[in-house]
Each structure stands twice: as structure tokens, then as C-alpha cells.
Amino acid sequence: MNEIIKAMEERRSIRKFKPDMPTKEDLEQIIEAGLYAANGMGKQATITIAVTNKKLRDRLSAINAKIGGWKEGFDPFYGAPAILIVLADKNWANRVYDGSLVMGNMMLAAYSLNLGSIWIHRAKEEFELPEITDDEILVKVVSDSICMSTYKCAILGTEHKRVHEDVAEHPAIMGHEFAGDIVKVGKNHQEQFKPGMKFTLQPALNYKGTMWSPGYSYEFFGGDTTYCVIPAEVMELGCLLEYKGRAYYEASLAEPMSCSIGAFHAAYHTQMGVYTHEMGIKENGKLAIMAGAGPMGLGALTYALHRDVRPSMVVVTDINQDRLDRAEELFPVADYKKEGIDLHFVNTGSFEDPVEELIKISGGTGYDDVLCYAPVSAVVTQSSAILGRDGCLNFFAGPTDKKFSAEMNFYDVHYNSTHVMGTTGGNTADMIESLELTAAKRINPAVMVTHIGGLDAAAETTLNLPKIPGGKKLIYTHLSMPLTALDELRKAAAERNDERYNALADIVDAHQGLWCPEAEEYLLANFITEK
């Protein structure tokens, strides 16, 4: 007998499971089988979530039992150690049929791997969006940019300053660089916000002395989801911002851009004999961006070159020549020479004495402002060593090691008035400045972006972020797509037999290899099922 037909005839629902967890490989095979289920119009509208954490599994079981009307302690999952949750947007007409076919495929796959399975109802009730209060706002998330801070949050857990202690019992939605559409507004905020408005937000709330923030601290408030609920304190602090621009990704990237902008504003300089600080980088001064060819460094670079108060020299360092080459391609040295800015891209790994070379490039004076974008002791020490008189070092890169330290020249601190400071993010004014400069086409935050993907790629991308080369990874939460590099879109078209990727590649190639509003609009129109 044909093996598939045999599996169809012999498979049965199981109501008593062993506690042994299936292997990761088996679960991945089962989920992959679901991806090949027949679906309406080839839209692949479903998302499958694997729950293997026992505390979360037990919590879902308790909620399901309550919905079903069973007594406390009854397990409607019959002891199954792993749960595969199949979700589909309720606006998609074929959601029930598509989801059912996915589950059918997965149960047959489980049987073929000698694993039992059962189809459990009541997921709709369990995952239905809650009603908002008068002080809350329901939003639809469209784009989220994955931040290295999110990776730190994932690996540190409760050791992270922004993660609440009971996160195991009340998981937080990750992602804090997000934008989308306002769906429903509680009555206390209806004069200011309306359904249909685009939004972005400043996640550094600092509410009543806490470090709570979306993406770290809230159960229903974060960017790696399709919808979320914005709590009252966000509006109270003025951190929810209407976005009037064209592209959602630009609103998502306003947050990381605001972090770079904040570093410029937080810098300060002094005058001999005067006990005042002049805030901001030195106008017509010399600026070094250390380890600056990554996404945040490029964000700082586009801002440095196009803001009102500009340096006369900008030096960008890195040890990755590919990243430096890409940066120079995006920011041609000759073009900025015409604007009076002496721009250099320097591979410090190619010099025996990088400090000597960098001082030489500065004309022997050292640098007025230095931005350090890597939590590496050697880079921090180099950053300190190249400071000129009254030079300001901004340590931007956040380490995971609480005891991280580096050598700094305190002789220069005393005699040359060099100083160091740190910034972890921007404020609301910085975000507004980013949005205004982007709208005016003075800065292009897309220089940060090297990859795009769907919501199903968010978790794996976050956990492996340091291992994935390139810049920002941009997640579109209402579509299913493996994380895909912009320079590999044509490769993806061939591998996935999908001409849509070639169309995206054409658009990206026409814009210097950068993500752009036209590419986003094509993506949203052709890769998302809901209408």
C-alpha cells in the first residue's frame, strides 16, 4: 500500500502522551510539512508556532481548560510536551480551510515520524485580541527592525535591566523598533489619535523611574507581532507619534536613527577657564566613527554628513573590508569633498599601529569627537587614544558583560580635558528630528538595512543576530518569509521558484542596492494575503 495512504488510514488522535520532548529536527520536519499544505490562491497565510517551554505550555493548557469549562487541573492537551499552534489572520477568507489543511499535513507527518498527535480546538478563543480599555490603543504592526539590544534581551533574560522578573510566567513580546497603523482608540485618547493613522513610537519610556520598555517588559506590547496594545503611559509621556510618511520601515528605523542622533546631541565641549558645556559635536571639527561600518555606524554617518552642524572631517573605521567597501559605495568620498567634508574609510586591521595612522589622518591634532560602536576593549582604547584637546568620546555600544572595561589615558583627561560619556538611546525629540530629516530626504535610514523577512523569521534571526553578517534585519509581521539578504533576492527567486523576488531585486537594484519605499509597497501588495 502507498505509504501516504497507509498513514491516512492508520493515524489516530492520541489522548495520552509520554512526557518525552520530540527532537528539534522532528518538530521542524512536521512544521515544514505544514508549509506544503494546499492553500487558497497560494498565499501561505498561516503561521505555525512551536511551544516547547513547559511553563508556557502549562499556562496555555490552563487557559484552554478555562475556555472549555473544565475544572482546574484538567489538561486539555493530554500531557503532550510540545504544542504546535496554527494561526491565520481573521481577515483572510480561507483562514479556517488553510489552517485545517496545515494541521492535517502536520498530523500525517508526525505519524510518519512515530509521534502521536491530536487536533485541539479553542485556539480561536485563546488567541483572540482582547478588548482595549479607555486608556489603551490597539495597533496593527507592519514593520519591526531587529536591534542588537533585542538579542541581548533574549540571551540575558531577567539579567537584562529592562526585563521583568516574572517573564517566564508572563512572556514579553520582543521588538521595540516598530511602526504600523492605529486600529482602535480608547475613548480617553480619541481627540488626539484616530483609527487609520500611521504610528511610530519612542520606546525609552523611563516611566516613573522604571526602565520598562516595549520589546522587553510588556506582555501585550512589542513589535514582533501582528497586533499589540499600547498602554496608557505611552500616551501620557508623549511617546506615541503620528507618522505621516510614505514607508513604514522609515518609521521603524526612526528609533535606531534617534539613538545615533542622541549621541551627537549628548556630546559636549568646553572652553578653557569657563565652566560651561557647549552641547553637541564641534562644528567644523574632526569626527571619528570607530567600528562604524555596521548599521548603527552608517546611521551616524548619514546624519553627520547631512545635519545642520557638520564636521569638516569624518573618519569611519572597521576591520571588515567588505563593510567598508559598501559604506564607501553608499557615501562616495569625492561627492562629499565637493561639500567641504574630508571623508575617509579606514581598515584599522591593516595597520600595525592604528592609533598612529588615525592621528596622522587627522593632521596630528587628534579628533574633536569620537563615537565608539563596538564593545571591544581594544577599540575603546583606540578611541580614547585618538582624542584631541577637549575631545569627547561617546561610548555607544552596549556590552553584555557587566564588568566590561578598557584602558583610557587619564594623563589626557587631566591635561587635555578629554572626556567620555555614554548614551543608550535617543529621546522623543531625537525621533521627531529623524522623521523630519527622512521626510525631507536629507538622511536615508535605509543604509542600515541589509535583510528582510517575515514574522516567522523573527525569533531565529534575533537569537543568531551576531552570526548573521550585514546590517539591520527588517521584519514585516504580516507575511511569511525566510530572512533574505537584499543582495540575494535573485538567488531566492531561483531557489524558491518565485518571480516576486526578482521583481523586488529589480526595484532594489534601481536604488543603489538599498531598501526603499517602492520595494516595501511591492512587498506589502504582493506578499501579504489580507485585504
DSSP string, 392-420: EEEE-PPPS-TT------HHHHHHS--EE
Does the structure show a pLDDT above 80 at 125? no
In a domain, 56, yes or no: yes
Reported pTM: 0.77
Average pLDDT, the chain: 92
- Name the residue with cell 472549555: 68
Residue 304 belongs to a domain with what CATH number?
3.40.50.720
Is the domain of 186 the same as that of 334? no
Is the domain of 454 the same as that of 477? yes
Pick from 257, 329, 345, 341: nearest CA to 305: 341
Predicted confidence at residue 217, as pLDDT, reads 86
CA–CA separation, 100 vs 164, rounded Å? 37
Single out the residue in 385, 401, 428 at which a domain terminates: 428
CA–CA separation, 390 vs 365, rounded Å? 11
Predicted confidence at residue 425, as pLDDT, reads 79
CB 330 within 8 A of CB 305: no
CA–CA separation, 189 vs 450, rounded Å? 37
Predicted confidence at residue 129, as pLDDT, reads 66
Which of 113-127, 393-407, 414-428, 463-477 shows the lowest per-residue confidence on average (mean pLDDT)?
113-127
Is the domain of 117 the same as that of 164? no
Is the domain of 404 the same as that of 266? yes
H helices of 341-376, where? 354-361
In a domain, 88, yes or no: yes
Is the domain of 407 the same as that of 519? no
Does the structure show a pLDDT above 50 at 257? yes
Is the domain of 143 the same as that of 100? no
Does the structure show a pLDDT above 80 at 530? no
Taking the CB of residue 455, how many other CB atoms lie within 10 A of it? 22
Is the domain of 401 the same as that of 272? yes
Is the domain of 180 the same as that of 97? no
Q: For 322-371, what is each residue's pLDDT tens digit?
A: 999 999 999 999 999 999 999 999 999 999 999 999 999 999 999 999 99
- Identity of the residue numbered 79: G
H helices of 113-175, where? 123-127, 148-156
Is the domain of 223 the same as that of 346? no
Q: For 50-107, what is each residue's pLDDT tens digit?
A: 999 898 899 889 888 888 888 888 999 999 999 999 988 777 888 889 999 999 999 9
Predicted confidence at residue 502, as pLDDT, reads 97
Number of structural domains in the chain? 4
Predicted confidence at residue 410, as pLDDT, reads 93
Does the structure show a pLDDT above 70 at 185? yes
The domain containing residue 285 runs over which residues?
A: 259-428
Does the structure show a pLDDT above 60 at 501? yes
CA–CA separation, 286 vs 358, rounded Å? 11
Single out the residue in 244, 269, 284 at which a domain terminates: 244
Dihedrals phi, psi of 306, to nearest 5 degrees: -130, 5
Is the domain of 35 the same as that of 99? yes
HEC per residue, 210-248: CCCCCECCCCCCCCCCCEEEECHHHHHCCCEEEECCCCH
From edge to edge, which strands make up the β-sheet containing 387-395? 342-347, 313-318, 286-290, 367-372, 387-395, 419-422
The percentage of residues in the chain with a pLDDT greater than 70, rounded to a whole number, is: 99
Q: Where residue 120 falls among pLDDT bands split at 50, 70, 90?
A: confident
